[in-house]
Amino acid sequence: MGETLLMKGNETLAEAALRAGCEAYFGYPITPQSEVPEYLSEEMPKRGRIFLQAESEVASINMLYGAAGAGFKAMTTSSSPGISLMLEGISYIAAAELPCVIANVTRGGPGLGTIQPSQGDYFQAVKGGGHGDYHMIVLAPSTVQEIADLTYDAFDLCWKYRTPVMIMMDGALGQMMEKVTFKEYKEPVRDISWATRGKPANGDRRVITSLHIQPEEMERVNNKLQAKYTEIKKNEVRYETQNCDDADVVIVGFGLSARIGTKAMQMMREKGYKVGLMKPISLWPFPEKAIEDLSRRVKGFYVLELNAGQMIEDVRLANEGRAKVGKYNRYGGMIYSPDEVVEHLEPFCKELK
Amino acid sequence: MAKGLGAVVVDIPRCKGCSLCVAACPTKTLALSRNINQKGFNYAEMAEDTCTGCGICSTMCPDAVLTVYRAKKPKAE
Amino acid sequence: MGIEVSLEGKEIVYKRPKALTDAVTHYCPGCGHGTAHRLIAEIVDELGIQGTTVGVAPVGCSVFAYNYFDLDMQQAAHGRACAVATALKRLMPDKYVFTYQGDGDLAGIGGNETLHACNRGENITIVFINNAIYGMTGGQMAPTTLIGQKTTTSPYGRTTNEGNPIRMCELITTLPGVRYVERVAVNTAPRVRKAKAALLKAFKNQQENKGTSFIEIVSNCPSNWKMTPLASNKWIDDAMIPYFPLGVFKDQ
């Protein structure tokens, strides 16, 4: 069994990465994630691992490229504006099929924005962000415990599929303290025969590149990536539901919104409304089948997001017009209270009764 | 310098005919051929048997297409 | 037809290095990139480090360097080779790690990564090809383009309005993390030999873990300078070297 501690979300992310065998961390300070590099700068050297504060997020992500390309377990973390700087590198990493973990402890934007929590980076995370046809696996914890568990998963998934995995959590989760139990981490078998560690005496040299100048070849590379994404969509969809069996209306929210949505759901139940909750955990691959199935038996979805309405587009795509789709949003670092959600959700539910 | 002390073998298909070896050759052994290779370049070749095997040509060759030979030194008895 | 020469009684004194692949480079006839590649490959052969070397290719004319070196290689995003190499060397301190970068990559878009890798004293070899122009994209102005030099984006000749050509060796030398800085050229045979000696030293320095080794190779770009290979090599003497003086800037 693991040990139970009271920890901050950001420190949990760092500790889980250590336990998952992260061999190298490269990052640049930015609020609200700076506890991650602070924690690792203390702990990594003790274990003989590599911690390096880079000169920028641009350098961080390219150091991650180098480390991953040599077959080491590596991670970077940042917050929204810093992730924007990393997008070029993430596109290269996806194209070169390198395994690594990137955590985005999101804050309010656009621009320099605010340091308060937000979910405004949903599009950036799940729709690409960088150039070209690529995806990252995007995991969104909503509790400190989930941060620990999903960090383990992120390290496993990136190696399983040789693809970048993003942990996306809003700044509130990064800063909040909760009880967390670290399970024992089981190191999977990792193939690094492709990694650049010096040309083998009796083998071919290894090249890490995303350049395929012949379009026929580049199309083949894209086909390979798409096949991988299809496989990931088949195997790695994660979500949780509560009270959906008899629900007329299902709140859909991830991360912090799922926590607030849970409370709002309970309050609505007390008022006599049959409200359920659906929490996507993998934002990509999005649980579209689950939404589709629900859309055949519920009257409405109510999408809660700390942005102007981003995930709602994926809900609508899966819903295909069957159920009514409502939404409530706060953004720019502002957070809705459960009362506030109920105040707006109740008329929506009344209309559907 | 005795004739035929050295020799240069040109990997003709790879030669790009840049003539850096020709210009650098101190004994004017090398010249660009009047013939062209598959890529359409007038490749370098030995025009005179005056090569000393000094290797200046290969020092200048950007495409590493020159193999340089030199007469074996007689073994001391 | 050339003359027929007997190879009997002769031995090979120079042949293509093993650390080059069989690929014919895409470089134009007479391009110094080929010479620089060849020298690095010769050094890898001579040090016997083919199995313990990892190279980082840039974006620019030498983007395909990984096709030409028979080595494990990573192709980095434009300007980021020094960041990639930093990770490689820190995780594999027993390996020889080098970057191969042009002037746009190293001194332009990658200026920050270059400065900081050098400032940290990363124990790597940085090979910087300065040919005063963007080759791959068709001859645009580079950070090292000379004042008055015409390029496709400075058709009237570069003026100080676009900044002065940047002297990287001089800049890098000021950083305490840097151990060895030399500017060499590959336009004459004696200089090629000197360039090789500098590169050899820059690779060997990694055995002692004493900081960054930075070799700038003043090179030509016959096609984009719109010159014959021979004329371009002369232009290195006439125009490049007066502004980019050759020599050792630092050797500790």
Q: Which residues of C126-158 are buried (b: 16+ CB within 10 A; e: fewer)?
A: bbbbbbbbbbbeebbbbbbbbeebbbeebeeeb
How far off is chain C from A72, nearest CA to CA, in Å?
Answer: 8
Q: Do B58 and C24 touch (CB under 8 A)?
A: no
Chain C residues within 8 Å of chain A (Cβ atoms): 50-54, 56-57, 63-64, 66, 69-77, 80, 83-88, 90-92, 95, 112-113, 115-116
B48 lies within 8 A of chain C by CB: yes
Q: In what helix (H) or strand (E) does residue A346 lie, and over which residues does it extend? A: helix A338-352
| pLDDT value for C138 | 94
Q: Measuring CA to CA, which residue among C71, C94, C74 is closest to residue C83?
A: C74
Q: What is the pTM of this model?
A: 0.96
Q: Measuring CA to CA, which residue among A167, A165, A168, A154 is closest to residue A120?
A: A168
| pLDDT value for C106 | 98
How far off is chain C from B29, nearest CA to CA, in Å?
Answer: 10
| pLDDT value for B73 | 82
C-alpha–C-alpha distance, residues A136 and A147, integer Å: 17
Whether A307 has a pLDDT exceeding 80, the answer reads yes
A207-208/A324-329 β-pairing? unpaired
| pLDDT value for B3 | 64
Establish, for the pair of chains B and C, how many residue pairs have beta carbons separated by less than 8 Å: 110
Residue among C52, C66, C84 minimizing CB distance to A62: C84
| pLDDT value for A292 | 98
Numbers of helices and strands, H then E, in chain C:
10, 8
Domain ranges of chain A: 3-235, 239-352
CATH of domain A239-352: 3.40.50.920
Closest residue, chain C, to B65 (C-alpha)? C16
Q: Mind listing the pLDDT tens digit for each residue in A212-234?
A: 999 999 999 999 999 999 999 99
C156 lies within 8 A of chain B by CB: no
Q: Mind listing the pLDDT tens digit for each residue in A331-342?
A: 999 999 999 999
Per-residue pLDDT of chain C (252 residues; tens, 9 = 90+): 689 889 999 999 999 999 999 999 999 999 999 999 999 999 999 999 999 999 999 999 999 999 999 999 999 999 999 999 999 999 999 999 999 999 999 999 999 999 999 999 999 999 999 999 999 999 999 999 999 999 999 999 999 999 999 999 999 999 999 999 999 999 999 999 999 999 999 999 999 998 999 999 999 999 999 999 999 999 999 999 999 999 999 999
C-alpha–C-alpha distance, residues A16 and A13, integer Å: 5
| pLDDT value for B39 | 95
Chains sharing 3 or more CB pairs under 8 A with chain B: C
Q: Mind listing the pLDDT tens digit for each residue in B3-59?
A: 679 999 999 999 999 999 999 999 999 999 999 999 999 999 999 999 999 999 999
Q: Mind listing the pLDDT tens digit for each residue in A254-268?
A: 999 999 999 999 999
Q: Is the link from the previous residue into A287 a cis peptide, with omega within 30 of 0?
A: no
Q: Do B62 and C7 touch (CB under 8 A)?
A: no
Burial class of residue B28 in the structure, from the number of CB atoms within 10 Å of its CB (0-12 exposed, 13-18 middle, 19+ buried): exposed
Mean pLDDT of chain A: 97
C-alpha–C-alpha distance, residues C226 and C233, integer Å: 12
Closest residue, chain C, to A206 (C-alpha)? C72
Domain ranges of chain B: 6-69
Q: Is CATH 3.40.50.970 correct for A3-235? A: yes
Phi first, then psi, for residue A281 (nearest 5°) are -105, -45
Please report the beta strands in chain C, taking only residues with DSSP state E, as ranges in sequence order: 10-14, 53-57, 72-75, 96-102, 125-130, 178-185, 212-218, 247-251
Whether A199 has a pLDDT exceeding 80, the answer reads yes
Residues of chain C found within 8 Å of residue B61, distances taken between Cβ atoms: 34-35, 38
Question: What DSSP assignment string belongs to C121-153?
Answer: T-S-EEEEEE-SSBTTTTSB--TTPPTT--BTT
**pLDDT band at B2; cut points 50, 70, 90:** very low
C-alpha–C-alpha distance, residues A299 and A280, integer Å: 19
**pLDDT band at A43; cut points 50, 70, 90:** very high
C-alpha–C-alpha distance, residues C51 and C19, integer Å: 10
In order of start, what are the domains of chain C with their CATH numbers?
32-251 (3.40.50.970)
Q: What percent of chain A has pLDDT over 70?
A: 99
Contact (Cβ atoms closer than 8 angstroms) between residue C11 and residue B36: no
Give the amino acid at C209: N
Q: Is CATH 3.40.50.620 correct for B6-69? A: no
Residues of chain C found within 8 Å of residue B65, distances taken between Cβ atoms: 16
User: For B7, left (φ over 0), alpha (ψ -120 to 50), or beta?
Assistant: beta
**pLDDT band at B1; cut points 50, 70, 90:** very low
**pLDDT band at B76; cut points 50, 70, 90:** low
Closest residue, chain C, to A65 (C-alpha)? C84
Q: Do A211 and C75 touch (CB under 8 A)?
A: yes
Q: How large is the average pLDDT for residues A203-212?
A: 97
